[in-house]
């Protein structure tokens, strides 16, 4: 999910509290009333039909490819790029509550997420440390990032392996109506950098509410249950927003670094058969080698040549997994991304993905 050019981990600029207005009547998330969870009140819907209805509102998916994960999120147009070596594994949970789409995702490798929100929608997401061991947020040392995006706003963001991304999408019209009493500034801009107060009660309630949703999966076929969960989720979201901080002036240096990295990546993706050298990138972007190096080091934690090579290796893997072996050989897929020495390519591929290209599951084989 997107969190591009959010808080850079050093300074968020002049932050301002969002005023609290007319939200005293909002409730916090809680468990569903028992009257909604009584199986005897459900009626006589056949089990297969009920199961299908539940599945249309809730899913848990497991992936072994980053881009297949990214393309599976609803209401978002995304490409994910694995940038850390290893066998990729990830989990994606999605819940649909009649117009509000909640999600939670986690991967075992560092990835870069690029994408955009569908038109007429708003997306809000945040990262938090994946507390598998029960540690507190503070012990991870990682800073939480969050952001708001509208249809038309795009992003590129690196997510570390020890972080979870959670958030939701909803119709922009409904969001604008509900956020107006908060006095939320610049809500109609394509993107807004915000920072949730992760120690606040409201944000703790929101996070626990997201976790609570999965406890009611078996009842999501019932409209009244979805209505209650939807209201509680909205309450949690907007109560957390009223305690959030809104960034003032963005960090222009950080934005410049992000822009250089994104434009460099676009050069590779736009002409994969003829990948540009570092000198080519510098010439095209009109930046010196030192600026290019600094940009990639600050944003991605690696050199431009290393990062762009990983993007190309991921491109070959996407081809192998999306085109049957009968239609494209490994050599042809590699050549499509500028790898012409098959032995060297295979070695790089094995070191990065921990499997040979011939071991990658091809489209139609076991799908």
- Name residues whose C-beta falls within 8 Å of residue 143's C-beta, 6 or more positions apart in sequence: 7, 9
The predicted pLDDT at position 65 comes to 96
In this structure, the strands spanning 100-107 and 90-97 are antiparallel
Q: How far apart are CA 169 and CA 76, in angstroms?
A: 9
The predicted pLDDT at position 348 comes to 98
- Number of continuous H segments (helices) and E segments (strands) in the chain: 12, 12
Query: In residues, how long is the chain?
Result: 367
Radius of gyration of the chain, Cα coordinates, nearest whole angstrom: 22
**Higher confidence at residue 8 or residue 48?**
48
Of 35-39, 263-267, 344-348, least confident by mean pLDDT is: 35-39
**Residue 267 pLDDT > 70, yes or no?**
yes
Residues 268-289 pLDDT 10s: 999 999 999 999 999 999 999 9
Residues 303-358 pLDDT 10s: 999 999 999 999 999 999 999 999 999 999 999 999 999 999 999 999 999 999 99
CA angle 131, 68, 7 (to 5 degrees): 50
Q: What is the mean pLDDT of residues 39-48?
A: 51
Of 17-21, 200-204, 264-268, 305-309, least confident by mean pLDDT is: 17-21
The predicted pLDDT at position 119 comes to 85
**Higher confidence at residue 53 or residue 69?**
69
The pair phi, psi for residue 90, each rounded to 5°, is: -150, 165
The predicted pLDDT at position 134 comes to 41
Axis crossing angle, helix 223-242 with helix 172-179, rounded to the nearest 10: 50
Q: How far apart are CA 4 and CA 158, in angstroms?
A: 8
For the chain, list the domains and their CATH numbers: 16-246 (no CATH), 252-359 (1.10.10.60)
Of 44-53, 282-291, 299-308, least confident by mean pLDDT is: 44-53
Q: How far apart are CA 164 and CA 107, in angstroms?
A: 8
- DSSP character string of 317-334: HHHHHHS-TTT--HHHHH
Confidence of residue 192 (pLDDT cuts 50, 70, 90): low
**Residue 16 pLDDT > 60, yes or no?**
no
């Amino acid at each position: 999910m997107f969190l591009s050019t959010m808080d850079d981990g050093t300074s968020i600029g002049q932050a301002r509290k969002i005023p609290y207005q007319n939200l005293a009547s909002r409730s916090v998330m809680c468990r569903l009333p028992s009257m909604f969870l009584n199986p005897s009140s459900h009626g006589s819907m056949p089990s297969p039909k009920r199961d299908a209805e539940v599945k249309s509102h809730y899913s848990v998916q497991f992936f072994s490819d980053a881009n297949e994960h990214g393309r599976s999120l609803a209401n978002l147009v995304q490409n994910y790029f694995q940038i850390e070596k290893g066998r990729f594994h990830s989990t994606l949970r999605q819940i649909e509550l009649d117009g509000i789409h909640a999600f939670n995702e986690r991967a075992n490798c560092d990835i870069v997420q690029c994408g955009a929100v569908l038109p007429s929608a708003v997306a809000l997401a945040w990262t938090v440390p994946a507390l598998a061991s029960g540690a507190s947020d503070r012990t991870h040392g990682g800073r939480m990032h969050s952001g708001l995006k509208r249809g038309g706003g795009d992003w590129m963001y690196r997510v570390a392996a020890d972080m979870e991304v959670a958030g939701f999408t909803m119709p922009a019209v409904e969001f604008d109506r509900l956020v107006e009493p908060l006095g939320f500034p610049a809500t109609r801009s394509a993107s807004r950098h915000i920072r949730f107060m992760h120690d606040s009660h409201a944000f703790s309630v929101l996070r626990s509410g997201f976790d609570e949703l999965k406890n009611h999966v078996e009842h999501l076929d019932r409209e009244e249950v979805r209505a209650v969960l939807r209201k509680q989720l909205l309450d949690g979201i907007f109560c957390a927003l009223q305690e959030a901080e809104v960034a003032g002036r963005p960090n222009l240096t950080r934005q410049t670094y992000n822009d250089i990295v994104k434009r460099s990546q676009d050069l590779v993706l736009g002409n994969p058969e003829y990948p540009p050298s570092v000198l080519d990138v510098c010439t095209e972007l009109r930046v010196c080698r030192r600026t290019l190096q600094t940009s990639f080091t600050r944003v991605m934690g690696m050199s431009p040549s290393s990062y762009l090579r990983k993007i190309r290796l991921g491109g070959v893997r996407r081809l192998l997994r999306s085109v049957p072996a009968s239609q494209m050989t490994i050599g042809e897929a590699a050549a499509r991304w500028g790898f012409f020495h098959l032995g060297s390519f295979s070695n790089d591929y094995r070191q990065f993905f921990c499997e040979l290209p011939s071991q990658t599951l091809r489209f139609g084989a076991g799908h």
